[in-house]
C-alpha cells in the first residue's frame, strides 16, 4: 500500500472518530485533499483510493495540473473529480478560475464576489465561501469578522455566485487545541448569519481545519477540512 493511500485511510478514520466524538454524521464532513506543489501523480494516487475532491491555492498551478490529472485518471475518476480554489485570487485570474473550480473558498471582498459573479453568470452559478480573518492577523487574508455580515449582505445581490458558507485559516498555534476558540467563533458567526435569513445566502458549509488541527475543526462543525501535508507529505 502506498503512503498516500495509507495517509488517506488514517485521515478518514480520524474524521470518523471526531464525528463520533461530537455526535455528527460522518458524511457531513468532506475532505479537501490539498495538492498544491504536488504533482498530478500524487493526485492520481489519491483519486485511485476514491478521493475525488482536491484543493489548490494557485490558479496557474491548477491550470497546468488539472488537465494532466484528467488525462491520467480513468473515466470514472474523472467524472467524480472536483477542484476547489483555497488560496488568494487575483482579479486577472478570475475568468480562468471560474472555469477550473467548482468552489472558491477564498472570497474576501465584495468586489471579488462581483467579478466572480459576472464571469460565472454565463456558465453556472458558482458556489463560494467567504474567507474570514478570524484571528484579526495583519498578514492574513480574509474579511474582518465585524465586516462580514455587511459584505455578505451586499454579495447576496450577485446572481452568478451562491454564498455557501465561511472559511478561515486561524492563527498558527503549537497545540491543535489552540485553534478551537477560532473555529468556535467562525461557527458562531455562520450561525448568526444564518439566522438573518438573507435571501440567496445558505451558510451550510464551514471550511476550517488543516493537517494539524482538522479533528478539532470537525468537532467544532467543519464541513470541509483542507488537508495537505498529512496526506501528501511535507512540502519543504
Ligand atoms: C496549504 C493550505 C492548506 C493545507 O495545509 P496543510 O497544513 O498542509 O494541511 C489548507 N488551507 C489553505 C488555505 C492552504 O493554503
Kindly give the residue spans of alpha helices, DSSP state H, lying in the chain.
3-21, 40-48, 59-72, 75-80, 94-100, 110-120, 145-155, 180-195, 214-219, 229-232
In percent, how much of the chain has pLDDT > 70? 97
The band of 159, judged by pLDDT with boundaries at 50, 70 and 90, is very high
Q: Of 34, 55, 173, 179, which is best to mutate to test ligand 1, by the most ligand atoms within 8 angstroms of its C-beta?
A: 34
Atom of ligand 1 nearest to the CA of 229: 8
The architecture in CATH of the region 3-232 reads Alpha-Beta Barrel (3.20)
> Cα of 230 to ligand 1 centre, how many Å?
10
Q: Of 55, 105, 137, 230, which is best to mutate to test ligand 1, by the most ligand atoms within 8 angstroms of its C-beta?
A: 55
Q: Check residue 57 and give its pLDDT.
A: 98
Q: Check residue 77 and give its pLDDT.
A: 60
Atom of ligand 1 nearest to the CA of 57: 15
> Cα of 17 to ligand 1 centre, how many Å?
21
The band of 200, judged by pLDDT with boundaries at 50, 70 and 90, is very high
For the ranges 70-74, 130-134, 160-164, the lowest mean pLDDT is seen at 70-74
Residue nearest to atom 13 of ligand 1 (CA): 86
Residue nearest to atom 7 of ligand 1 (CA): 211
pLDDT at 45 over 60: yes
> What residue ranges line ligand 1, CB within 6 angstroms?
34, 36, 57, 86-87, 169, 210-211, 226-230
Angle between helices 40-48 and 3-21 (to 10 degrees): 60
Give the global pTM. 0.97
> Cα of 226 to ligand 1 centre, how many Å?
6
Residue nearest to atom 6 of ligand 1 (CA): 228
In the numeric block, the cell 490539498 is attached to 34
What does the domain layout of the chain look like in residue ranges? 3-232
The band of 29, judged by pLDDT with boundaries at 50, 70 and 90, is very high
- The model's pLDDT over 170-186, given as tens digits with 9 standing for 90+, comes to 999 999 999 999 999 99
pLDDT at 50 over 70: yes
For CA atoms 156, 157, 159, 161, the dihedral sign is: negative
pLDDT at 79 over 80: no
As separate numbers, helices (DSSP H) first and strands (DSSP E) second, the chain gives 10, 8
Amino acid at each position: 500500500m502506498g503512503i498516500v493511500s495509507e495517509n488517506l485511510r488514517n485521515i478518514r478514520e480520524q474524521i470518523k472518530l471526531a464525528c463520533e466524538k461530537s455526535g455528527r454524521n460522518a458524511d457531513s464532513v468532506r475532505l479537501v485533499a490539498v495538492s498544491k506543489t504536488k504533482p498530478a501523480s500524487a493526485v492520481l494516487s489519491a483519486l485511485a483510493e476514491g478521493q475525488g475532491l482536491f484543493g489548490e491555492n494557485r490558479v496557474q498551478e491548477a491550470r497546468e495540473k488539472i488537465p494532466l490529472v484528467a488525462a491520467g485518471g480513468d473515466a470514472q475518476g474523472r467524472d467524480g473529480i472536483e477542484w476547489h480554489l483555497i488560496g488568494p485570487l487575483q482579479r486577472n485570474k478570475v475568468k480562468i478560475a471560474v472555469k477550473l473550480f467548482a468552489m472558491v473558498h477564498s472570497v474576501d471582498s465584495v468586489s471579488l464576489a462581483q467579478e466572480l459573479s459576472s464571469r460565472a453568470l454565463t456558465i453556472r452559478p458558482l458556489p463560494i465561501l467567504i474567507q474570514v480573518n478570524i484571528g484579526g492577523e495583519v498578514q492574513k487574508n480574509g474579511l474582518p469578522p465585524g465586516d462580514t455580515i455587511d459584505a455578505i449582505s451586499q454579495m447576496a445581490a450577485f446572481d452568478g455566485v451562491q454564498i455557501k458558507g465561511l472559511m478561515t485559516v486561524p492563527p498558527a498555534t503549537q497545540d491543535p487545541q489552540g485553534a478551537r476558540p477560532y473555529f468556535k467563533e467562525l461557527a458562531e458567526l455562520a450561525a448568526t448569519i444564518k439566522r438573518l435569513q438573507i435571501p440567496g445566502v445558505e451558510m451550510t458549509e464551514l471550511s476550517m481545519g488543516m493537517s494539524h488541527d482538522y479533528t478539532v475543526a470537525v468537532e467544532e462543525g467543519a464541513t470541509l477540512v483542507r488537508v495537505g501535508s498529512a496526506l501528501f507529505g511535507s512540502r519543504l
